Structure 1
């Protein structure tokens, strides 16, 4: 049963009305045509009975109208299967998604046109993306709670012990507490950077700087940290003016060096820069192993993703360092990838765009 108030019902009624109208116009036109034909051949105007159809013609007209209505209904059903069923499925599932059920998926009709099928596919892709984002948000919330709870619990325990007199309020104890606070502050700042980048609101203080000088400042201050981890620093820096946020540039270099401290085996860490194609400034940080498998080369830039390098034991860290690196580089309009290093480990390639006049002059 087709409801008259539905789109399918309107389509059926429109086709039925069209069929009846065509049949009526055909019958009327035939009567007028034959009447005029009789008038021209006989020279006498036809009588009223000659204008009107006889019983046979009337039965034929009624039968033709019934057949036309039947064809119209069949056509309406077929059109509904091709057009209205998938459109109705999209509309119904939109309401389901609006109510919070992101598992809803639309169903394509049998033999639907390409545009209708594409609409159904786009809706299902959108629903899948929303569901994946909702799942990721739930994982994020749980992971953030875990990451924040650990340092806060440690601080709470140490402060409670100081209050109870278990530990003495020595400078060493305060330095230990301060280190936990600094770690917690860094974690919060990393979370903030990733969240702002994902919403395209990460603020950058863009200005023209000598990039190699900014990187050298980081390397000088971080060299003792690398040495304590058994890493020897090698540098191959190319002087180049780059339009970037120098604070964020130093932040990504620190994050990559800390990643090497956490994951690389004792050996060499090489930091190099070079101008590519006259328009890109590449910063590479690489170590001598163990490397990152090709399957994980993209996943490691996801927030809270922790992987064990080939042949390495699990290490600490919040899992945000490389996510922050990617967020900052993308905010600059650049790219970041992880590839095998000539040293035998992993190489992180960061590419920043140069100034327009620098690219033209090169």
Structure 2
């Protein structure tokens, strides 16, 4: 039963009980007082058959003072009955109120325990009223916060790991240069610059994700031809794909929508980079554009091994790698798909990953055809 209905029913029952019980007590008291009054006034003997008053009886109506005494007794009885009924009603109402407030107090106590750091505190869910719904929603919120807190802790650990590797390389080579163990040749300095670039890109990626989380990611929207942008992205990966022995393909027609050109190009770069990393030599990476209702679609298909089903829900998480053996050098930083997701959602779009029926993975981006 819903909480509102239960409270209304409780109040109604208390009111009916108080009124009925008060009326019953008043009636009983009145009958008792009336019998006592007539016994005091007329005695206990029956009326003789002739109709004349018997001994101990008075004939005629009771005197005015006696009638006032009777009315006073009746009023006193009614007051006593009303007071008793109110007391009983208060007790019943207090019990019902305690039953209704008890779950709220429990939820308040659980909330305070969670605020004190007891992360395992959960509310007790009983019944199907509003309090039960609130308790269930509280538990769901706590579970979500716990998961996000654990994810943040993992992310901090991953960031520390990603930063530690290039910093260790930089420190080792700089110490070798300082000690005269290495010559500052162009090749050596070039490796140091590459490590600095890796750090710079990682910091920029983290900053972009932080801006996206805070809603501070700015977009310069303008009418954009998706097909032309797709061809530009494919051209940028032509040399790399050729070196890996992977074919690049395009399919789709002209399609225009409002988007930030640089941000959307970054999305395509990240998706194509991911596809090339997982496509073996002799395979193909295909970029498609399509129109579907109010959405403009971008699809990146590859002929790689696909994504393990257990990894599909996590591919857009930060620092997540389906192949745990991959390193930063062979598998990227683990931020590419997370950044793509953040940029697509900033455009009001959606991104999803699935496995193609014939093999390989499909990453699909849906972008709205209008800003609204």
Q: Place the TM-score, normalised by the shorter chain, in its bin.
A: 0.7 to 0.9
Unpaired segments of 5 or more residues in structure 1? 1-10, 358-362
What's the offset of the Cα at 1:201?
A: 2.2
Q: Is the 8 A contact 2:295 2:367 kept in 1?
A: yes
For residues 117 and 356 of structure 1, the distance between their equivalents in structure 2, rounded to whole angstroms, comes to 40
- Corresponding position: 1:276 with 2:292: yes
Counterparts in 2 of 1:128 and 1:313: CA distance versus 1, 3 Å: closer
TM-score by length of 2: 0.76
3-state SS, counterpart of residue 298 of structure 1: helix
- Corresponding position: 1:326 with 2:341: yes
3-state SS, counterpart of residue 301 of structure 1: coil
Describe the superposition over 1:203-254 as per-residue Cα deviations: whole angstroms up to 9, x where unpaired: 2111112222223222212211122222111122422222111111111111
2:69 to 49, 56, 69: 49
Counterparts in 2 of 1:43 and 1:212: CA distance versus 1, 3 Å: farther
What's the offset of the Cα at 1:177?
A: 1.4
For residues 79 and 325 of structure 1, the distance between their equivalents in structure 2, rounded to whole angstroms, comes to 53
For residues 315 and 333 of structure 2, the distance between their equivalents in structure 1, rounded to whole angstroms, comes to 12
Describe the superposition over 1:70-89 as per-residue Cα deviations: whole angstroms up to 9, x where unpaired: 564355334422x2111001
Counterparts in 2 of 1:268 and 1:223: CA distance versus 1, 3 Å: same
Counterparts in 2 of 1:232 and 1:142: CA distance versus 1, 3 Å: same
For residues 61 and 109 of structure 2, the distance between their equivalents in structure 1, rounded to whole angstroms, comes to 65
3-state SS, counterpart of residue 331 of structure 2: coil
3-state SS, counterpart of residue 329 of structure 1: helix
Counterparts in 2 of 1:294 and 1:28: CA distance versus 1, 3 Å: same
Counterpart position of 1:303: 318
For residues 217 and 121 of structure 2, the distance between their equivalents in structure 1, rounded to whole angstroms, comes to 33
Counterparts in 2 of 1:238 and 1:173: CA distance versus 1, 3 Å: farther
Q: Is the 8 A contact 1:298 1:337 kept in 2?
A: no
Q: Is the 8 A contact 1:329 1:350 kept in 2?
A: yes
Describe the superposition over 1:274-306 as per-residue Cα deviations: whole angstroms up to 9, x where unpaired: 2222x3221111111111133322211111111
Counterpart position of 2:332: 317
3-state SS, counterpart of residue 243 of structure 1: strand
For residues 78 and 292 of structure 1, the distance between their equivalents in structure 2, rounded to whole angstroms, comes to 57
For residues 166 and 215 of structure 1, the distance between their equivalents in structure 2, rounded to whole angstroms, comes to 48
Counterparts in 2 of 1:99 and 1:313: CA distance versus 1, 3 Å: closer
1:106 to 123, 132, 138: 123
2:203 to 172, 175, 188: 188
Q: How does 1:2-41 map to 2 (within 5 A)?
A: 23=22, 27=26
Counterpart position of 2:136: 121
TM-score by length of 1: 0.78
3-state SS, counterpart of residue 235 of structure 1: strand
Counterpart position of 1:7: none
Based on CA coordinates, which of the two structures has the bigger radius of gyration?
Answer: 2
Counterparts in 2 of 1:29 and 1:183: CA distance versus 1, 3 Å: farther
3-state SS, counterpart of residue 350 of structure 1: strand
Q: Is the 8 A contact 1:23 1:61 kept in 2?
A: no
What's the offset of the Cα at 1:190?
A: 1.7
3-state SS, counterpart of residue 73 of structure 2: coil
Unpaired segments of 5 or more residues in structure 2? 1-9, 39-59
Q: Is the 8 A contact 1:282 1:351 kept in 2?
A: yes
- Corresponding position: 1:175 with 2:197: no
3-state SS, counterpart of residue 133 of structure 1: helix
Q: How does 1:1-362 map to 2 (within 5 A)?
A: 23=22, 27=26, 45=64, 46-53=66-73, 69=87, 72-81=90-99, 83-108=100-125, 111=127, 114-266=129-281, 267-277=283-293, 279-308=294-323, 315-341=330-356, 344-355=359-370
What's the offset of the Cα at 1:317?
A: 2.1
Equivalent residues, number:
329
3-state SS, counterpart of residue 137 of structure 2: helix
For residues 61 and 244 of structure 2, the distance between their equivalents in structure 1, rounded to whole angstroms, comes to 117
For residues 145 and 333 of structure 1, the distance between their equivalents in structure 2, rounded to whole angstroms, comes to 32
Q: Is the 8 A contact 2:230 2:287 kept in 1?
A: no
For residues 203 and 336 of structure 1, the distance between their equivalents in structure 2, rounded to whole angstroms, comes to 19
